[in-house]
Structure 1
Amino acid sequence: MTTAPRPALSAETAAPGGGPRDPRPGAGPAARAARLRPRRRGYEAVSGWLFVAPAVVLFAVMGLYTVGYGFLLSFAQWNGFAAHWTWVGIQNYKDLLWADPRYAPRVQHAALHTLYVMLAVPALTVLVSFPLAVLLNSARRMQTLLRSVYFVPYVTSGIAVFFAWQYILQPDGAINTLLKSVGMGSLSQPQGWLGNPHTALPTMIVVTVWGAVPVAMLMYLTGLQSIDRSVLEAAQLDGAGWWRTNFSVVWPLVRPITAIVVLLNLRDSLQGFQTFLVMTNGGPGDHTNVLGLEAYRLAFLMDLDPTLGLASALGWLLFAAALVIALINLRVLRSRT
């Protein structure tokens, strides 16, 4: 007795292993992979959130909570030790700006000094760092060594540098000694350059510029090295000399870098106070007091008076001023591009 041969499975009905394919819809490997794909994506999302959760929690606690706490504190009086705040609303801002004769004059003088620093430091930093970058870019020998030498002020410990400047600027310091040795003793300062009310703030501006030049110079140097050499060669073929090439061709090309340098120095001049704290502590008198230093004093140097709210309010005023400066700078950049 013979049996009829079994018909061969077609490609549509054969499984990858050679057996019959399950005729039910959604039972093939592609369908199973499609069903597993959303589940796998869910696992990846959960594992990703687990990895970033510590950073998010840390930011929420140390960032958002601290910022919110400080903002609420700017509307209250608190000395840091009492169990409760005294809510005063916007009175802290009024006291700082005009209402309280104990704080308003000091804040106004500090704001004036800060304005001088904000105008002088960015301008001097650009005037010094751009020519230095041009000279370093054109140097054929020892360029790396010179770049390192000029960058030393930025990588040196700030406190040590500030104390070294204090020693140099003393009545018997290096600057007065040098002036006397070259017959210019009339320009020396018997009180020291930081002890004379007329020279203290300009001297602090010079020290601040000295610390800001290295980063600005390196930024300019990076921009100069990215300029196409054919542009400079074309200017030279047209008869442009060294000065004409650098200030009519190179300077407009590095204008975005100039905007960044100015913005960074404006921010540091507005909010920075470490140099003033270490070198002068606002003296002599209040001739080098700036807004950042005044906020520090209100927060930590006013005994047990409830001035933490005033310090927080002054900090938020500084933040608002920095935000306005950043928006203006962004608008200027967009209008020139």
Structure 2
Amino acid sequence: MAVTTDSVAARLVREPRRATRSRQRGRRALVGYAFIAPAVVLFLVMGLYTLVYSFGLSFAKWNGFSPSWDWVGLENYRDLLYADPRLAPEIRGAALNTGLAMVAVSFGTVLIALPLATLLNSITRLRGTLRSIFFLPYVTAGIAVYYAWRYVLEPDGAVNLALRAVGLGSLARPQGFLADPDTALPTLIVIMIWGSVPVAMLLYLAGLQAIDPAVTEAASLDGAGAVRRLRHITWPLLVPITVAIVLLGLRDTMQGFQIFLIMTNGGPAGHTDVLGLKAYQQAFFQSLSPTLGVASALGWLIFLAALLLAVVNARLLRGQR
């Protein structure tokens, strides 16, 4: 009987404690929800709402000021793809430039970042200093870098002066590299590679440092030279990192247009137009023309392309595991 009474008393003591702990957990949960509520509201308003709004706008004509939309169905998409005799060729040209930039930037980044990472991995002194120097292009403010590049690429800029000084005046461009139709897009691609190499180099450096030195030493003892070690040992282990670098470069180049806007604004004569820049121009540089729907439609086409690229990215990365 005493045991039963004691167990009942102990249960009566534990139940209020459990209730107190439950209330405390509930209060902590409410505090947590209160902290994340502003971010959730901001996402719902600035993210989800604008996403749905832009999707609806892609089926309408609107200039941003008229009180109502003019619903046109799929007309905006047809105009972008083939129907508009002026806009459709511009979009195809911008898509071609975007594709060229995506491929060139992604693979150019790999071709430069891997040797730099190998060089950094092979030295011990000043490694941190060199790593900071190589990483400088990435941490420098983008707009400041773009204006600096514009300055050195002008007709009387440092690049033309340097070419003439070393006897390569035939390579100089009297109108500047950004104003020449033959060099404008390649020049921007080079600048984009210059800005994307630092992150890729650090990823490769991390991958190289993760390789067991005993493996490469054993290969050296077996008579494998540097090229064979790179081909049969180092490169296969770096393939997953390479896939990630290439796919991230493809995505960033497809969605980004800031460098094209600041440095050339699509010129000369549309030779540096890209899809993101065309969407921006259709939205904000058409006076009062009802082109916001066209801009939204183009934005959704870019989104679908990016989504397809993300699916390919996920499948390739899953296949490397």
State the TM-score, normalizing by the size of structure 2. Answer: 0.94
Partner of residue 5, structure 2: 13
Q: Structure 1: state its 5+ residue gaps.
A: 1-8, 16-20
Counterpart of 2:102 in structure 1 is 118
Task: For 1:157, give the aligned amino acid.
Answer: A
- 1:1-337 alignment to 2 at 5 Å? 10-14=2-6, 28-34=12-18, 38-337=22-321
Distance 2:145 2:19 in 1: 65
Distance 1:206 1:225 in 2: 28
Moved more, 114-123 or 49-58: 49-58
The CA distance in 2 between the partners of 1:27 and 1:186, in whole Å, is 94
- Give the CA deviation at 1:51: 2.6
Normalized per residue, the structure richer in helix is: 2
- The whole-number CA distance in structure 1 between the counterparts of 2:89 and 2:272 is 14
Give the 3-state SS of the residue equivalent to 1:104 in structure 2: helix
Q: Shift of the alpha carbon at 1:335?
A: 2.5
- How far, CA to CA, are the matches of 1:159 and 1:46 in structure 2? 42
Paired with 1:35 and 1:186, the residues of 2 have a C-alpha distance of: 85
- Structure 1 position 318, deviation (Å): 0.5
**1: distance between equivalents of 2:240 and 2:160?**
40
CA positional deviation for 1:63: 0.9
Query: 1:112 is aligned with what amino acid?
Result: L
Which is bigger in relative contact order (C-alpha 8 A, separation at least 6)? 2
Match of 1:18 in 2: none
Q: Give the secondary-structure state (helix, strand or coil) at the position aligned to 1:282.
A: coil
CA distance, structure 2, for counterparts of residue 164 and residue 31 of structure 1: 70
Q: Distance in 2 between matches of 1:313 and 1:237?
A: 60
Contact 2:173/2:180 (8 A) holds in 1? yes
CA pair 322-31 structure 1, distance change in 2 beyond 3 A: same
Cα–Cα, structure 1 residues 40 and 163, in superposed 2: closer, same or farther, change >3 Å? closer
Q: Which runs of 5+ in 2 are unaligned?
A: none
Q: Residues 14 and 162 of structure 1: is their aligned pair in 2 closer, same or farther, counting only changes over 3 Å?
A: closer
What SS is found at the alignment partner of 1:284? Answer: coil
1:317 corresponds to which letter in structure 2? Answer: L
TM-score scaled by length of structure 1: 0.90
- How much does 1:35 deviate? 5.2
Structure with the greater alpha carbon radius of gyration? 1
Question: Separation in 1 of the partners of 2:163 and 2:121?
Answer: 33
Tell me which moved more, 99-108 or 296-305.
Answer: 99-108
Are 2:244 and 2:317, in contact at CA under 8 Å, matched by a contact in 1?
Answer: no
Q: CA deviation at 1:183?
A: 1.7
CA distance in 1: counterparts of 2:305 and 2:251, whole angstroms: 9
Report the RMSD for the aligned CA atoms in angstroms: 1.9
Percent identity of equivalent pairs? 57
In structure 1, give the amino acid aligned to 2:300: W
Q: CA deviation at 1:102?
A: 2.5
- Give, in whole Å, the separation in 1 of the partners of 2:264 and 2:86: 22
Query: Which deviations, in whole Å up to 9, do the C-alpha atoms of 1:284-313 show, x marking residues without a partner?
Result: 110011111111100100111000111111
